[in-house]
Structure 1
């Protein structure tokens, strides 16, 4: 009996410990509304990926993507030739495809480089992004309140209630992909769909 435990149980314990350790290093980030991601980013750009290369050492390896900058949507008015990301998806690294134009939101590192993670949710550029970005810029003074329960209320007039989470299919819902929370003339915030103009309310 003891021999069986040594042969079978101990390896199982090691396997469980290894899986827990792997899980501890997995990328975890709460999915925010694209407008929230945009407003909280240091830089937002439209860019085309032209090349990819790994740099760094064994334990600090990162991926650099050479890009063709098409338009600065938010952030300092300077040219970006490269964006960097973690080499592993477990560290929130992203995989971008050569030749594709992306809507990229990221953070500036102390050395001035632009860092992008899967939490910033980079996505292929769509024509609707041009309108949405203008709306996002108008709504950065508003707060999008994620509603995860049936009973969920706004806590103030400068908030928009985001209820797409209640449907179970939040990645494909209207307020996620087509709407922006922007400030009206009376100072309150409300949802508007793409090209719709804010009213006094």
Structure 2
């Protein structure tokens, strides 16, 4: 009988560890380049967070929209995100301005940890300028994130981003000219 109990305990323990691994790995993504986040997003805005409320399995942040960069003719009063970082939910501070890149679903804006949602004050002057002047014109290009060498590119419609851990590449935009994409 003790052998049976030991076997059951071991099985439950292994299943527990397996499940903890799943939960710990629930939200995994590498940070996108600001331009790629802009191009992949359905909506990009600058807004100030003014309130927070838990609704169902999500958090609703009330916002004051300051500027619309992508998806004009849309007024957003709230941003929704998952209720925890493990589920890719974003944690925001009240009375702070952010750049939000997200998706629209039934008139609601959703953001995740896998998007690009930095505090507005953390953006460089070049990034702020690119939001209105360069990123949109570079959406025909794909930014390929290279984390280890070699990183071959097999197309002229891409730029290689190798500045992992630095902000240098984030201040550039990948723009198509003369039939190929290049950093500008």
TM-score clears 0.5: yes
- RMSD, matched Cα: 2.0
**What is the SS of the residue equivalent to 2:165?**
helix
Give every structure 1 segment of 4 or more consecutive aligned residues whose post-TM-superposition deviation is greater than 3 Å: 2-7, 9-13
Unaligned runs of 5+ in 1: 165-169, 193-201
Match in the other structure for 2:63: 67
Find the aligned partners of 1:30 and 1:127 in 2 and give their Cα distance. Answer: 20
Distance 2:92 2:161 in 1: 28
Report the equivalent of 1:142. 141
> SS of the residue aligned with 2:81?
strand
1:124 to 103, 119, 122: 119
SS at match of 1:120: coil
Kindly tell me the number of residue pairs found equivalent between the two proteins: 178
Deviation of 1:5 (Å): 8.2
Q: Distance in 2 between matches of 1:39 and 1:87?
A: 26
* TM-score using structure 2 length: 0.86
Q: Under a length normalisation based on structure 1, what TM-score does the superposition of the two structures give? A: 0.79
What is the CA deviation profile of residues 61-88 of structure 1, one whole-angstrom value per residue up to 9, with x for unaligned ones?
1100000000001113221000000001
Preserved contact between residue 124 and residue 171 of structure 2 (Cα < 8 Å): no
The answer to whether the 8 Å contact 2:32/2:116 transfers is no
- Report the 3-state secondary structure (helix = DSSP H, G, I; strand = E; otherwise coil) of the residue aligned with 1:171: coil
Please tell me whether the aligned partners of residues 63 and 78 of structure 2 are also in contact (alpha carbons under 8 angstroms).
yes
Q: Which runs of 5+ in 2 are unaligned?
A: none
Whether the aligned pair in 1 keeps the contact of 2:49 and 2:92 (CA below 8 Å) is: yes
In the alignment, what sits opposite 2:97? 101
What is the distance in 2 between the residues matched to 1:34 and 1:75? Answer: 17
How far did 1:172 drift? 2.4
**1: CA distance between counterparts of 2:44 and 2:141?**
18
